[in-house]
Amino acid sequence: MTVGQRANAAHATGNDLPVDLRLRSFFEPQVEQLGMQAHERNGGVFAGGANNVGEGSLWALQLSESCLVVAHEVVLTSEFSLEEESPSSLCVASISQAGVPLCPVTPPPQLRREENIAVFDQGGRSVNRLRPRDSFNSVAACVLPGYFDGMRVRYGSAVARRAHGLMSVPGGVRLGGSEPYVRAALRSVGSVRSGSVQTRRMLAEKVEGAIALLAVEDYEAARAFDLQGCVDAARLTAQVRCLVEADPAHAPTVDQLAELLGVSRARLCATFKQETGEAVGAFATRKRMELACRLLDDPRLSVAQVAAATGYQHQSSFAEAFRRTTGKTPRQWRCGDNVRVVCESSQKDRAFVPQPSS
């Protein structure tokens, strides 16, 4: 039985998980063959379990119609063959050393024990032999070809075409360049277990920024399309996004960003404003307040705890900054019927929201 047939069978038996059928093939074989039990949790899919082969856990969250993020941790006690079949798609993953040989990539001479950044097209059928006592840990963003149409809105046609082109080049493990930015984005994906609208939007931005960075790294390809100037600007903008979004509560200042990226403050500010229509400082503040909005939605956290978690030493300073951005105090935001102005984006940034079954 193919993966698609297994997915349809599961759907027919009432396993109505909040993930489209065509995206389930990115995690369903692991769940089924390792004997995990999958169920809906916080808007995503959580699976866990143990059998005579080993034990593991998995978390999957659909971010859009064509994008899924999935994190898993598996430790085997005996040798095991994993069969997978998935549609053609771009996979950007942070993978443990033991997991890299299972991917269609050419590994470098030396690998990190954890968090090796691999980029590859994972379409087709594969059978991999997994060794016992190895830890197979990964966090991955899997996107279908239709995903790149959406990238045109935020990053332009040149970067979207280049991102789509990543599917047609040999898979590999990235070293240097955008590697730390992509790793930070995937680390954020692996650290959450919530499927709220705000979380989906935050993760969607991180994934898109990471893919954009990878897409603009190949300067030779950019020259071939006579897009060097566009790619330079897009690369700088994507790097700013990743550096800020990796930790909005403690994002670098504009001067620090310029120093980190090796450009003048004037060029950084002018380029970012031209590409996005928003000043660097305003973007950083907005991301910080979006984080505050998500934290305020958690009733277990006090306003003082939210202030500290968003990098403010004094609650009064946080409250004033929050009021300037949203027009409400943190308590008004938490208690009222809020129009989430700070966390609303244009249509291009809207997160996927599972629809109730009819």
Q: Tens digits of per-residue pLDDT, 336-357?
A: 655 444 444 433 343 333 333 3
SS3 334: helix
pLDDT digits (tens, 9 = 90+) for 38-90: 888 888 899 998 888 888 899 999 999 999 999 999 888 888 888 888 888 99
Cβ atoms within 10 Å, residue 300: 6
pLDDT digits (tens, 9 = 90+) for 145-198: 999 999 888 888 878 888 888 887 788 898 877 788 888 889 888 888 777 888
**Residue 144 identity:** L
Cβ atoms of 190 and 139 closer than 8 Å: yes
Average pLDDT taken over every residue of the chain: 81
Q: 37 phi and psi, to 5 degrees?
A: -105, 120
The pLDDT-based confidence of 229 (bands split at 50, 70, 90) is low
Angstrom CA distances, 123 to 64, 95, 326, stand at: 19, 18, 44
**Residue 333 identity:** W
Matching residue, tokens 């954020």: 188
The model's pTM is 0.64
SS3 118: strand
What dihedral do alpha carbons 307, 312, 318, 321 form, nearest 10°? -140
DSSP annotation string for 59-95: EEEEEETTEEEEEEEEEESS-EEEEEEE-S-EEEEEE
- Domain regions of the chain by residue span: 3-276, 280-349
Cβ atoms of 342 and 290 closer than 8 Å: yes
Strands 44-50, 135-143: pairing kind: unpaired
Fold of 280-349: Arc Repressor Mutant, subunit A (1.10.10)
Please report which helix (H) or strand (E) contains residue 98, including its range: none
Cβ atoms of 171 and 121 closer than 8 Å: yes
